[in-house]
Structure 1
């Protein structure tokens, strides 16, 4: 969204409309204030977020996404209790981007004591703030009866990258809800080789839900866990192409020559997305054993695949 510097006369005109008797005019004024950099604009928006009209409050909550500061964050936290869902959702969306240290205490309190929506929204806002004080409430929330709360708690723990949370994360890997297990896999991306979290990621590669398997493969690749090479080779033959693609990508990041045969076979996959991942991974591994398979894919119908095949061939031939 474009930002403009408001002048006194211009802001006075918007302020007049922001306090109009007509709710529709007030709503438009709130939207205009999103682009204003004058601190007085924030004051007007803070008035708008408690306006009697729900549409004005919603517009103010959305506009506050463009502004920073403790008063903004605290007003949005309060708006999470609004009696109109659209206002609550707008407040939660804007709050998620704030990263305002002064609001951490209030968010932790709401994550403990609010309703399910408030608990989840507070944890979501705490995630990118990466404050250590949020760890106890996030750990406690892993046993929350609401799925959304458990998912957001995992986000907090993942961003903190705290090995002290590993035992709780490993327990959460057995959650009955697939979306929670998937979030566990994402949170374990910080796991280092040889740590206790590796078994949970390996288990994720065989999860009944393909999205969990996909996330596990992605996290393993990002964490570069050599212990997972054998499991990734198996996952590269997964029945779901998204899992296959992520497993191949992870094998490439690990430069795992053990994976060359299964990756080479994927050069003939029906989907070009998988073939691209295969060519890229073979280039990363740069094993001369892949030359013949890459030569066979030289005329792939997809131009992006052909480009990657040529690049991979150069690297594999150079390594011979």
Structure 2
């Protein structure tokens, strides 16, 4: 069964909204170096907004976004981009000052480097009672670390639904935050920063001492999953020619949260998420690269084996 066959689910996201200022260049500059780029674009982004768009499009049922934009020209653009993707923006507030900005350099291999300037995101101090009412009506709450840590902790502790945390940008995670997290989804660098272990297998085991479930995304090496119940799974990446990997992790996390909320077995949910991430890296931009539900389902059908079992599941670490 594909996600969403029986009923619709809505994900709430408490997080950042940024306008991405993206420079595309054959080779990224080193320190003190100037290079000539190919093109420039302004693209809606921010890890929170990206994940909200990813979840809304992967579910086909929308998502709710809780955060802030500034009263500058970028604020209305971000609000419209979220709404156009099926995201409920009724809890997206406007605050005085600039909207959050991300300066991104993307090279011809699809790699990127990013500088984030929080702007309005820094004004979010925690969820309001109205925010918590929206969260309570959803199936899961997604969090990242581009808002002030105290705000993230407050949202996690107040949530009455499962909490999914992407610990990015990497930071020390307070014990009270970890105690409220049900599933953590770092990439390998973030997992190493949280646990102190460079080896993904060791990092996974260390994460499970902190939270009940963990998924470590490994780029073109796929992902590893573990739970405190003893389940260990690996899912390979879907082969694809990457154009821009900026929001691949957000596409994965959004789609995974949707699939888990819809009750899919872990292996199928991971495959669904890996397919969404692969589709996202074929396009430039962050929020604009998130695939629609129909695209993910079609890609999954193309990779199914003759007997209907999705290709590429590899149980075990």
Structure 1 and Structure 2 fold alike (TM over 0.5): no
The higher-RCO structure (CA 8 Å, 6+ apart) is 2
Q: Which has the larger radius of gyration?
A: 1
> Counting strand residues as a fraction of each chain, which structure ranks higher?
2
> Counting helix residues as a fraction of each chain, which structure ranks higher?
1
**TM-score normalised to structure 2 length:** 0.29
**TM-score normalised to structure 1 length:** 0.29
